[in-house]
Amino acid sequence: MKKNKQNIISTSPSEKDSFIKSFFSKLKRLQYSFVQIFFKEKEKPEQISSLAAKVLKSKKEIDKIRPYLNRLNSALSSEGITNIALTGTYGSGKSTVIRTFQDIHKAEDPNNDFDYLNISLASFKDEIIDEEESKSQGNNNIHFQQSQDNFERLLEVSILQQMIYHVKPSRIPDSRFKRIINLTNKKLIVTALGFVIWLISALSMWKFGVFSKINPLTWTFSFKDLDFTSFLIIGIFLSGLANIIFRFIRTFGNSRISKINIKGELELGENVDKSILNQHLDEIIYFFQKTKFNVVVIEDLDRFRSTEIFTKLREINLLLNNSELIQRKIVFVYAIRDDMFQGKERIKFFDYIIPIIPFINPSNANDKLTELLEEEGLISVFSQSFIDDVVTFIDDIDMRLLTNIFQEYLVYKESLQHELTQDNLLAIVIYKNIYPRDFARLHKNEGDLYNFIANKDVFIKDFISKLDEEIALNQTVITNIEKDKIDNEKELRDVYIFALLSKLNNPYNVLIEGKDVTLDKLSEEDNFNALMDEQDIKYNSFVYNSSYRMYNPTKTSLGKSFSDVEKEINNRHTFSERIELINNLNDGYLEELKQQNEILDERKEEIKRWDIKRIFQNQDVSNYLGEFEHSLLMRSLLVNGYVNENYLDYISLFHEVSITKGDYTFIRNVKTGSSLDFDYKLEKLENVIKKINENHFEKVAILNYQIVEYILNNKNQYETRYKSLKKLLKSEHKIVIEFIDSYKRSNQTDNSILFTEIPKIWQGFWNFIVKKSNKFSEKKINEYFQLILTHSTLPDINKLNNIESFKQHFSVLSNLGDLIKDKNNTAKLKSIINSFNTKFNDISELHYNSEELYDLVLSNDYYEINTTNLLAIATHESVSENKFNSSNYTTIRNLDNEFTIAYIDKKIEIYVTSVLLALEENTSESAKSLILLLNNSDLTVMTKKLILESTLPVFQYLSEFDEIEIKEEILNQFAITPSWENVMDYFNSYENENLDSILINYLNNKDVFKELTKSNLSSLKDDDETKKKLALAIIYCDDLDLESHKSLRKCYHSSWSKLLAFEKLSYEKVESMIESKFITLSVNHYDKTKDNFSDLHIKFIERSFSTYIKAYDEYEMDEEDHSSILQSTILIDAQKKQFLDTLAENDIIENTVIATSATKVYVNEKVSGLSYSLLYGLFTKSNSNEYRIQLFNLNANSLDRSEAKNLIGQLGYPYNRLIKSRKQAKISSNPINLEFTNILLSLGIITSNREVKGMIKAVATA
């Protein structure tokens, strides 16, 4: 007893715990059930689209098929139409029309006349497909093999089965087809109980003599005597017996079909007819007799490509409609394909045909797809181009297939869950539906799609080969250039050595750095470079000693440096400059070729990283499609990248183990090339990096703060990924620049990491920011600049020395900002400045910020020569800005700063062009300073001319200038005091006896020649011959203005009787010289003027007639000259009379003009005593009666009557009538004519002369 008690006590704690746990468990379940029942709404299942034929509900949808519904209704209602066909392509919507019609005209509707029996043979399709495929593949495990005849019988059995099983057994109780009946427990209990009661009643009848109690002979008709119990027992027994006999008769009636079970299997009896339908025609008639079906809808019968079954069905339909047992119209409605019957066959089988236009086809499937997407609210996640194109390439698209594709897409979308490109996901689902077997093989890394994607290297082979050829070709050119470069430099050294040796006298070696170098070794690079530094070239030569008749070795100095020899060979470029030109020419092309090869190598790597889409954007995919060659769908999906290398993401589930879901999203986006935010948070960073192939580190999608920092910090550990990241960071891609800029601005990053590496990775980074990127402001560019200076190492910064834009940016001190003020940066900045050889463009604030850097810059010329910098230096030495601007060069020369003065002397051209000429007020330079500048050989002539133009000087002596070009410009600008000394200096500075255009222009200036006329050449110290040379140059200069020529030709006092070259002068100048008697008349001068200046020789005579007349016979004259002198307005008649006296009579009378002029001269000079012959000649040639009559009157005393008449005969009318017998002439009355008629009267030529009314009437003698 105690022991049991102890056991109870010992076990009680455990039982107690178990009870408590059980209690709380049940309590929690109760609580959950309570919440579910009373508080939580039950989730309604999501409505999905079935693949079965759709029943259209909306009016809009029903209206689309309204024509079919109306036609079908009319056909069903019409007499004589018992076989109706709905024809259309597969998936055209035949079943939808039928189901919608049945829904509108419901069988249970009392107003409806149609009762439908639907028979579908779709289940046979798979068996046929399996059978055909098994045969084609040679598979011996055939699922279902029958002969064609057996198959048709099975088809008929299926039809019969669907009819029989469509109704309850109770509706066709006399059917010979017996089915397994599902007996419920309740029914079994009732049956068993009834059977037991029947057995009890039977036993009671035999055991207790119940039959005797119902014997009519024993009836007393007394209510008391009635044995109700016996009647009840007998009633129960008889009812049970009748029921048993009824069931026996029905069950074991005559039948040739042994069994039909619930699975649809049918066992044939021993006798098998060819047609099941014909064999059981009585069953079919019985079926329709017992049911109300009057519309039999048969679908999918066309899948078996057999028309025999239609014949049998039509025959059955005919029997049914003609049967007196049925007595109603029964219509068979068939849903079949258009191509089931050929030609007129369809008319033979059917009474009415309704064609169904397909609901969708490749041309409008995209609209239906859009509708499905809009219903699910997914339209925005797809690209419109994808929706428009993808389904149009599915040739046999139908509504069922489209719906199935969409439903599968929804399942995949919800199952995969992580973010995917929806275009690609739907593309995979489409591929799965069109190529299901290939899709299944894809999971095993097999199949056509797998092989296509795995052959990526084959696709890019041609691209790579072409690039390799270009690289090899460039490399060959590079090798040749490098070889030629060495040869060119050696050849140039040989040219200089040859020129040097030609100046030496019998050399056998040359002293270089105190060592003897044989001639054949001079062109070697080291020896030649040392020779270039020699200031006095010395050499050993053999000198002939005539005393000893032998050659003695002697050390000789050439007295020239190598630079002197350089200038003699080429005064424009030194040897080093010419080598640099050659190298630059070659190096430029060489560098271009090397850069091309680098670009080609990068291109190769880029091509290797191309995805399928990118590859086939650059070449035709046709040659690589393989099994997909004739599939426009797969061509579209592959070429547009909807199905690509990342297919596994779209057919596989993700499990979070080594990375998180967010990490996986990042990895997937990197692989697909889709970028996330740069600051996207990664949890398991190292695992993420390991899961991303190094090739993807060249894609912009990899750009993430954490990724980039981790790789840069662990570049040795991830060497290949680092190399790929380097290529990406220097790719100049727009997104790379955005990343770097975002990284710089982010407070989540460490700028020292990236900007320590950037100069190493991408030396062109700075150049890109400044020149190629147009999105950065100056402020942002400067931020990058300071980050590079702050975080980059000196070696990396020094590599930027060859980037001009970086050096230029560094040369702007303001860009350095506060870096200058921080003394911790001074050493680094000094090193950079020295390395860059920086030229700062503005140092005006430098000495305020860092005196140490200021001293460095000034002492090493690390600043640009410009106005700002020089003003800063001058101001630092207390020079006023006004003085700096007005006399700049003079002021700088006076600075106490030897570094600046030496720097300007060294860079004098830059100084003049960028400073001196830029100062508009700089017009007060001292003459000494300007002369120093204008005589500086380092300045170009053009620059010196600009100096003269800008400073407006006036110099005293032209002889102070060295170059003829400067003298020319001084004269051009009239920047010299006019004096014969300056004119003579310039005239003597060029080798020409004539004035040049410069001097002509100068002497033509009015102020100049007026000033020069105040003195003459005699004041010059030059010899007379030089003076005369200048004077003749002036005299013979026809380009001088006439006024200038008149003034300046008197500069030298001399008698210019033999100016033999004045024929070069213009007519006006010679005329002027003649008129001013600057040149005297001489035979030579006369001949020159006669030969070169039409009438100036006459002017010569006119101005020096007395000289001429003294030696008239020395001057050659012609008839025209005689005429010109006689017509001269300068000569008086007395001089002309003198001239006529020098002429022979024939010279006077043979020319009409001369004769006429001579007549006037003789008349005016009242010359008499002229010979008859001269008078006759003058009368003959002269045309003036007045002068001829006067000459006649003057010379009448020397004429006889006959001569007088002859002379009168030469006079014109009316004078010539005076010698005609008895003729009267009337002439004007004047003293001359009166004297004339008196002389005639005295000579007896006329008889009278009377003066009447102003006229003289004279009558000739008989």
Around Cβ 1218, how many Cβ atoms within 10 Å?
24
DSSP state of 46: P
Residue 971 placed within a domain: yes
Domain identity same for 557 and 483: yes
Picking from 748, 793, 743, 738, the residue whose alpha carbon sits closest to that of residue 769 is 738
Helices (H) and strands (E) in the chain, counts: 64, 14
Residue 1224 placed within a domain: no
Q: What percentage of residues in the chain have a pLDDT greater than 70?
A: 84
Domain identity same for 565 and 491: yes
Domain identity same for 576 and 501: yes
Residue 852 placed within a domain: no
Sign (positive/negative) of CA torsion 557, 562, 566, 569? positive
- What span, in angstroms and rounded, lies between the C-alpha atoms of 1155 and 1161? 10
Instruction: Name which of 270-279, 511-520, 797-806 the model is least confident about.
Output: 270-279
Q: Provide the pLDDT for residue 487.
A: 57
Domain identity same for 1049 and 1061: no
Q: Provide the pLDDT for residue 5.
A: 40
Task: Scan for tokens 């004045």, then name that residue.
Answer: 1062
- What span, in angstroms and rounded, lies between the C-alpha atoms of 277 and 162? 12
- What span, in angstroms and rounded, lies between the C-alpha atoms of 685 and 281? 78
The mean pLDDT of 739-753, rounded to a whole number, is 80
C-beta of residue 685 within 8 angstroms of C-beta of residue 710: yes
Picking from 543, 88, 579, 613, the residue whose alpha carbon sits closest to that of residue 338 is 88
Domain identity same for 1036 and 932: no
On the question of a cis peptide bond just before residue 553, with omega within 30 degrees of 0, the verdict is no
The mean pLDDT of 418-444, rounded to a whole number, is 82
Residue 571 placed within a domain: yes
Q: What tokens appear for 89 in the block?
A: 């392509």
Last residue of a domain, one of 1094, 1116, 1138: 1116
Q: Provide the pLDDT for residue 1195.
A: 92
Query: Do the strands 352-355 and 331-336 form a parallel or antiparallel pair, or are they unpaired?
Result: unpaired
Does the structure show a pLDDT above 70 at 13?
Answer: no
Which range of 29-33, 516-520, 950-954, 955-959 scores highest in mean pLDDT? It is: 955-959
Q: What tokens appear for 819 in the block?
A: 């870096």
Query: Do the strands 1246-1252 and 1255-1260 form a parallel or antiparallel pair, or are they unpaired?
Result: antiparallel
DSSP state of 47: P
- What span, in angstroms and rounded, lies between the C-alpha atoms of 448 and 647? 14
Domain identity same for 1016 and 918: no
Q: Provide the pLDDT for residue 502.
A: 78
Domain identity same for 215 and 245: yes
Strand order through the sheet with 295-299: 116-120, 295-299, 331-336, 83-87, 352-355
- If one compares 785 and 1250, the residue with the highest pLDDT of the two is 1250
The mean pLDDT of 56-77, rounded to a whole number, is 87
Distances (CA, A) of 958 to 427, 508, 951, 977, 980: 93, 49, 17, 9, 11
Q: Which domain covers residue 1105, as residue numbers?
A: 1056-1116
Does the structure show a pLDDT above 50 at 127?
Answer: no
Does the structure show a pLDDT above 60 at 147?
Answer: no
Helices (H), 1182-1230: 1185-1194, 1201-1209
Residue 75 placed within a domain: yes
Distance in Å from the first CA to the final CA of the chain:
227
C-beta of residue 842 within 8 angstroms of C-beta of residue 874: no
Q: Provide the pLDDT for residue 36.
A: 57
Q: Provide the pLDDT for residue 136.
A: 44
Residues 6+ apart with CB under 8 A from 719: none
610-658 pLDDT, tens digit per residue, is: 777 777 777 777 777 777 877 888 888 888 888 887 777 777 765 555 7
C-beta of residue 391 within 8 angstroms of C-beta of residue 365: yes
- pLDDT band of 271, cuts 50, 70, 90: very low
Around Cβ 1234, how many Cβ atoms within 10 Å?
15
Around Cβ 607, how many Cβ atoms within 10 Å?
16
Q: Provide the pLDDT for residue 854.
A: 84
- pLDDT band of 343, cuts 50, 70, 90: low
Residue 608 placed within a domain: no
Q: What tokens appear for 883 in the block?
A: 């003085």
Picking from 812, 807, 806, 722, the residue whose alpha carbon sits closest to that of residue 770 is 806
Which range of 133-147, 1057-1071, 1227-1241 scores highest in mean pLDDT? It is: 1227-1241
976-1008 pLDDT, tens digit per residue, is: 999 999 998 988 888 778 888 889 999 999 999
C-beta of residue 1136 within 8 angstroms of C-beta of residue 1101: no
Measured torsion, CA atoms of residues 925, 928, 931, 935, in degrees rounded to the nearest 10: -130
Helices (H), 887-1005: 888-893, 898-906, 908-914, 927-934, 941-951, 964-972, 980-988, 997-1004
Does the structure show a pLDDT above 60 at 268?
Answer: no
Within 13 Å, how many C-alpha atoms sit on residue 13's CB side? 2
Domain identity same for 564 and 501: yes
C-beta of residue 922 within 8 angstroms of C-beta of residue 884: no
- pLDDT band of 84, cuts 50, 70, 90: very high
- pLDDT band of 148, cuts 50, 70, 90: low
Q: Provide the pLDDT for residue 1031.
A: 85
- pLDDT band of 3, cuts 50, 70, 90: very low
Domain identity same for 392 and 402: yes
Does the structure show a pLDDT above 60 at 217?
Answer: yes
- pLDDT band of 329, cuts 50, 70, 90: very high
The mean pLDDT of 1111-1131, rounded to a whole number, is 88
Arithmetic mean of pLDDT over the chain = 79
Residues 6+ apart with CB under 8 A from 835: 794, 797, 798, 801
- If one compares 587 and 1119, the residue with the highest pLDDT of the two is 1119
Residue 551 placed within a domain: yes
C-beta of residue 328 within 8 angstroms of C-beta of residue 364: no
Instruction: Name which of 169-183, 1009-1023, 1145-1159 the model is least confident about.
Output: 169-183
Tell me which H or E stretch contains 1207: helix 1201-1209
Sign (positive/negative) of CA torsion 42, 45, 46, 47? negative
271-290: string of b/e by CB count within 10 Å (b at 16+)?
eeeebbbebbbebbbbbbbb
Q: Provide the pLDDT for residue 7.
A: 42
The mean pLDDT of 204-213, rounded to a whole number, is 70
Beta bridge partners of 403: none
Residue 513 placed within a domain: yes
- If one compares 1178 and 587, the residue with the highest pLDDT of the two is 1178
Domain identity same for 160 and 233: no
**Count of domains for the chain:** 8
Q: Provide the pLDDT for residue 138.
A: 44
What SS3 class is residue 1256? strand
- If one compares 263 and 117, the residue with the highest pLDDT of the two is 117
Domain identity same for 155 and 69: yes
- pLDDT band of 144, cuts 50, 70, 90: very low
Size (the chain), residues: 1262
Residues 6+ apart with CB under 8 A from 130: 143, 144
Beta bridge partners of 1226: 1257
Picking from 56, 141, 41, the residue whose alpha carbon sits closest to that of residue 104 is 56
Distances (CA, A) of 825 to 386, 744, 828: 58, 21, 5
Q: Provide the pLDDT for residue 417.
A: 61
Last residue of a domain, one of 294, 324, 355: 355
Does the structure show a pLDDT above 60 at 548?
Answer: no
Does the structure show a pLDDT above 80 at 1125?
Answer: yes
Domain identity same for 1050 and 1075: no
The mean pLDDT of 62-70, rounded to a whole number, is 88
Residues 6+ apart with CB under 8 A from 1186: 1232
Q: Provide the pLDDT for residue 35.
A: 61
Concatenating the DSSP letter of every residue in 778-803 gives HHHHHHHHHHHHHHS-HHHHHHGGG-
